[in-house]
Amino acid sequence: MEVLAGQKHKHLEFTLVAVSELSSSSVPPSSTPVIARFSVDSGVAELRFRQDSGFIDGFNVNLGTAQLFKLGPLKSLCISGSSDSNKEKSYARGVTILFRNEEESRDFHSAFEQWQNEDVTQGTHLPNGAISDVKSKFDNKIESSSAKMYFHYYGQLLHQQNMLQDYVRTGTYYAAVIENRADFTGKVVVDVGAGSGILALFAAQAGAKHVYAVEASEMAEYARKLIAGNPSLGQRITVIKGKVEEVELPEKADILISEPMGTLLVNERMLESYIIARDRFLVPKGKMFPSVGRIHMAPFSDEYLFVEIANKALFWQQQNYYGVDLTALHGSAFQGYFSQPVVDAFDPRLLVSPPMSHVIDFNEAKEEDLYEIDIPLKFLASVGTRVHGLACWFDVLFNGSTVQRWLTTAPGAPTTHWYQIRCVLSQPIYVMAGQEITGRLHMVAHNAQSYTIYVTLSAKMWGPGAEQGGIIQSSSCKLDLKEPYYRMSQPQPYTTAQDQQPHQLLQPQDIPIHTDDLEEPKLLQQPLENSGAQLQ
């Protein structure tokens, strides 16, 4: 890998095994390696390929319109529009790339993404709030129709009101800011995805020197009105309409504040924008509110929920529906209903074992870390029962200098607009008390601003000789976090089945806290210890 830089040009080169058109199985005729060259000239980033000291005709890639996909450990596919300015019409093309080893493949993918960013910003000095006309990183990875619906949704006051009236959410943010005035007084703050501007106003109340409220939806206009209606605070707040991936600010921030959490913490993929804002706007060692997120998981047993979902497909078991036999579609409908994550509030006594957690440190995480999240699961069943799936919730930490405060969405805690989420297996598994449950939660981001979820739960052999045994039951499911089943019911009165022992009551404060993933274990107080909207 070679890098050259000058005042007007710079480039980065990789040595490849081969490169070929997707429509052709042939490789340029030569035994010598192929050189992939990233370069920027006149503000346009390109990827070109050369061999035998000459560039291969027709193989240049405009990074502003390109996407790179991994086909295997050593093979990738690059799709782009034509970069030939002489063409009257652009067209899509595919180029397959073969690498020498996995390390060079990873480096190439990382460089590809960095140089796409270069294409956006090269040679451009945008004034405060101005937006580049070039396609941004957000636009490259998010489907335009999804982004349009997303910004339309958050551009409506009724949805902002729904979030503002979540008093656990709003009150915890207020307390976290006001109780940590030392972090805000005299500081420059950026509110990432400001919405109505309420967090920017909280920061101003805490004594911020200036707040830049960045909001991409039409809600930016409402935020300006709300802030103008509070002139004593508003004179220190500037609303900027645009995406954090695109706008430029006149100064760096001492602290970022945002509410980037979606269902299961990561839905809507705004956490990636929060991390991008950190890298673009935050001074070294600056603070982030929130600074840490945790996804909690535990197997659950809920016969009522399972039957409720399964019964939805009974419609398709009709053999004479206006003379039509619908049963051919019953299996597809059954699996379709079980592909929807269930969003509701449930009784924590439905949990079959104590939960485990996966930590995301927003101060250290890379954007790429959120593209794919793979969590090994291991639980010990506390009761003998049927396991119907995996229950998940999250909490976030506001690591203030004065007070460390948690916002939790745990079952049994005051309900938030996030509720909890459950991934239900179409084939439950049976466990005995003391039996080990293993599995995996695998989440893969997609361009509709959400994730495809893969869940596997397995029961290991139980009893004498279990160490020599293996898996005796296993069940898996695939779900789309973008298409949940909003059940929204409050926890039902818990009844104990006659053939099983009562489930152990797991309070939110029973959630185990893993301090190995954080530099300052002392910050990890119990989630509910400082939660709530009221101030003393």
> Where do the structural domains in the chain lie, given as residue ranges?
11-82+91-118, 152-259, 293-486
Give, for 178, the enclosing helix (H) or strand (E): helix 167-178
Place of tokens 């605070």: 233
N-term to C-term CA, the chain = 59
CA-to-CA distance for 389 and 334, rounded, in angstroms? 16
Helix (H, G, I), strand (E, B) or coil at 27: coil
Residue 284 burial (CB count, 10 A)? 5
Residues shown for the chain:
536
- Architecture per CATH, 11-82+91-118: Roll (2.30)
The pLDDT, as a whole number, for residue 68 is: 80
Round to whole Å and give the CA distance between 377 and 389: 12
Helical axes 198-205 vs 219-228, angle rounded to 10°: 30
DSSP H helical ranges for 399-532:
none
Instruction: Tell me which residues are annotated as active site.
Output: 259, 268
In the block, residue with structure tokens 């995805």: 193
- What pLDDT was estimated at residue 289? 98
**How far, in Å, are 24, 193, 289, 296, 330 from residue 316 at the CA level?**
46, 43, 49, 36, 5
In CATH terms, are 11-82+91-118 and 293-486 the same topology?
Answer: no
Q: List all residues 6 or more positions away from 10 whose beta carbon is below 8 Å from its beta carbon.
A: 3, 4, 39, 40
Cα 53 from Cα 50, distance rounded (Å): 6
In this structure, what is the dihedral angle of CA atoms 480, 485, 486, 488, given to the nearest 10 degrees?
A: -120
Q: What is the pLDDT along the chain (536 residues), one digit of tens a residue?
A: 544 433 334 678 888 888 887 654 444 445 678 888 888 765 677 888 887 766 776 677 888 777 787 777 888 888 775 444 443 333 456 788 888 888 888 888 888 877 776 544 443 434 444 444 445 667 777 788 887 887 788 788 888 998 999 999 999 999 999 999 999 999 999 999 999 999 999 999 999 999 999 999 999 999 999 999 999 999 999 999 999 999 999 999 999 999 999 999 999 999 999 999 999 999 999 999 999 999 999 999 999 999 999 999 999 999 999 999 999 999 999 999 999 999 999 999 999 999 999 999 999 999 999 999 999 999 999 999 999 999 999 999 999 999 999 999 999 999 999 999 999 999 999 999 999 999 999 999 998 899 999 999 999 876 665 565 666 889 999 999 999 999 965 455 544 443 444 444 444 444 443 434 444 444 444 443 333 333 33
Render 352-398 in DSSP notation, one character per residue: SS--EEEEEETTT--GGGGTEEEEEEEEE-SS-EEEEEEEEEEEEEE
| pLDDT confidence of residue 41 | 63
Instruction: Name beta bridge partners: 342.
Output: 422, 485
Asked, as a colleague might, if the bond just before 484 is cis with ω within 30 of 0, I would say no
Residue 81 in contact with residue 91, Cβ under 8 Å? yes
CA–CA dist 245, 276 (Å, integer): 7
Q: Among 3.30.2290.10, 2.120.10.90, 2.70.160.11, 3.20.20.105, what is the CATH number of 293-486?
A: 2.70.160.11
Helix 219-228 / helix 157-164 crossing angle, nearest 10 deg: 60
Which H/E stretch holds residue 337?
helix 330-337
- CATH number 3.40.50.300 given to 152-259: no
pTM: 0.69
The answer to whether 442 touches 434, Cβ cutoff 8 Å, is no
Strands 292-300 vs 356-361: parallel, antiparallel or unpaired: antiparallel
* pLDDT for the residue 112: 85
CA distance 195 to 223: 7
pLDDT at 363: 97
Cβ 528 vs Cβ 408: under 8 Å: yes
